[in-house]
Chains A and B, each alone.
Chain A
Amino acid sequence: MAISFDAALGIHEDALLHRARRAEVLANNIANADTPNFKAKDVTFSQALNNASDTMSIKQVATSPGHQTALLDPGLAADMMFRIPTQASVDGNTVEVQQEMARYTENALGYQASFEFLNKKFTGLKSAIKGE
């Protein structure tokens, strides 16, 4: 029986990728904290999780290199959403730096957790291979 890495690693691999992407989005929000008319964005975890675990019933077949499969992704539209500010700013900026900072830290901890899970999976696989 062959070891399938995909089956062994489970959801943690996707979770790690999602956390890395969310870090980018939140960093961009904080970077634009002083930009007039900038609207803060965020990606929702549950939506990303559904996208990662669901398999689409109807698949698009790309028969030419010009076909963009990403355009038909149902999660694409709902994935990234604008934040609703609690205290809107006069210059149209909706970034609340303290909140963004808290979310960024929380996301970094989530990344660390996913990383630990993934690391332990690898440790387990390694000891299984060695037969210890």
Chain B
Amino acid sequence: MSLSNVFGIAGSAMNAQTIRLNTTASNMANAESVSSSVDETYRARKPVFAVQQADPLADLQSSYGPEAGQGVQVLGIVESKADLRQEYNPAHPMADEKGFVYYPNVNVVEEMADMISASRSFQINTEILNTAKQMLQQTIRLGQ
């Protein structure tokens, strides 16, 4: 039944958006985590989204032609390759021998926008879920 697939699809999207919110929270929390070397510095983390394809066998067996995809999946979380913020501050307790401290490449404004976008997408998917739930509940009452 296609309507119950909507639950899986919207659920996968909500899950993906939650992961996106989690990475944003982690980036924001570590936005000012200084370190004394380039390798140890925290880098902004971003999730990679991809379509979750339907089972190709199901396509052949269905009498209604090709199936819709099965929602969204998170392929992994990658670290941003943007340059780190380097600051000359010899008085800083974390300064290296040349007097530099390194700040993460987290752009707080970008993260805030990302957070709002993720929470809106989450809301829309709960809306989709609710509508599908109502449609199914109605179907159960058929013939009464």
Q: Which residues of A contact B (CB under 8 A)?
A: 17, 20-21, 23-25, 27-28, 30-36, 38, 41, 68, 70-71, 73, 75-76, 79-80, 97, 101, 104-105, 108, 111-112, 115, 118-119, 122, 126
CB proximity to A under 8 Å, residues B45-68: 49-51, 59-68
> Which chain B residues in 117-141 approach chain A with CB under 8 Å?
117-118, 121, 124-125, 127-128, 131-132, 134-135, 138-139
Q: Output the nearest chain B residue to A77 by Cβ-Cβ distance.
A: B65
- 20 A-B pairs whose Cβ atoms sit less than 8 Å apart in the complex: A17-B64, A20-B135, A23-B3, A27-B5, A28-B9, A28-B69, A31-B12, A31-B13, A34-B17, A34-B72, A34-B117, A34-B121, A35-B49, A36-B49, A70-B60, A73-B65, A97-B124, A101-B127, A105-B131, A122-B142
Task: Report whether over half of chain B's contact residues are helix, strand or loop; otherwise say mixed.
Answer: helix
* Given A20-B2, A36-B49, A122-B142; A28-B65 close (CB under 8 Å): no
Asked if B82 CB lies within 8 Å of chain A CBs, one says no
Cβ of A21: which chain B residues have Cβ within 8 Å of it? 2, 64, 68
Instruction: Indicate whether A32 sits within 8 Å of B49 (C-beta atoms), given known contacts A70-B63, A71-B60, A79-B65.
Output: yes
Return A109 CB to nearest CB of chain B, in Å.
Answer: 10
B128 touches A32 (CB 8 A): no
Distance of A80 Cα from B67 Cα, bound (Å): 9
CB–CB A35/B143 < 8 A: no
Q: What's the Cα separation between A34 and B115 when bound, in Å? A: 13
Q: Report the Cα distance A34→B24, complex, angstroms.
A: 15
Is A30 in contact with B51, judged by CB distance below 8 angstroms?
no
Chain B residues whose CB sits within 8 angstroms of the CB of A73 once the complex forms: 63, 65
Tell whether A112 pairs with B3 under 8 Å between CB atoms, given A35-B50, A105-B131, A119-B143.
no
Given the complex, which residues of B lie within 8 Å of A111, measured CB to CB? 135
